[in-house]
Amino acid sequence: MHEHDEETDDHLPPSKSQRKRDVEALQALGRELTQLSKDQLKKMDLPENLLVAVLEYQRITSHSAMRRQMQYIGKVMRDADPEPILEQLAAIRGESASAKAEFHALERWRARLLEDDGAVTEWLAAHPGSDAQQIRQLIRNARKEAELGKPPKSSRELFRLLREAE
């Protein structure tokens, strides 16, 4: 068996398999960029040619054209430094995770308000600027709508009111 000197291994070009894995990782990163909104993309610090390529992908409707554009995005990604892009995507994912947590917290508050009359007092103590009369009216209407099997218009309005108070 031939033993390799570690120094010579460092100077060898990456294997074909490694190059393929690297290209696939860049394409996956590019694919993730295509899933973002235009506002999110424009807030990111992306190379101009990459931003244009991703925005163009989002406008395309033809499957074969989308495939070609995704290949082009992968090619453009080869010239870009992926680290800052990965960091920015991680920050965006974090924002969406915190937004989801906030949404679920508001949903729990709404459910508590609809089930427990004492929860209104808790909400008002935590959010003194809230309109108690409007909240109580929306709770009564939401309960009545649920009882009659009507669309939850007041429940949605209550959620909007809670979100604004937060």
Q: Is the pLDDT of residue 6 over 60?
A: no
> What's the whole-number mean pLDDT along residues 84-94?
85
Q: Model pTM greater than 0.85? A: no
> What's the whole-number mean pLDDT along residues 88-109?
85
* pLDDT of 9: 54
Q: What percent of the chain has pLDDT over 70?
A: 93
Residue type, 117: D
Nearest one of 27, 33, 77, 75 to 55, comparing CA atoms: 33
Domains and CATH numbers, the chain: 14-80 (1.10.60), 97-165 (1.10.60.30)
| 102 or 7, which is more confident | 102
How far from each other are the two terminal CA atoms of the chain, in whole angstroms? 68
* pLDDT of 10: 61
User: Which DSSP category does 79 fall into?
Assistant: T
Rg of the chain (C-alpha set): 26
Nearest one of 44, 57, 49 to 78, comparing CA atoms: 49
* pLDDT of 111: 94
Q: How far apart are CA 58 and CA 160, in angstroms?
A: 30
Q: How far apart are CA 29 and CA 7, in angstroms?
A: 31
> What's the whole-number mean pLDDT along residues 14-19?
84
How many CA atoms lie less than 13 Å away from 14 in the CB half-sphere? 8
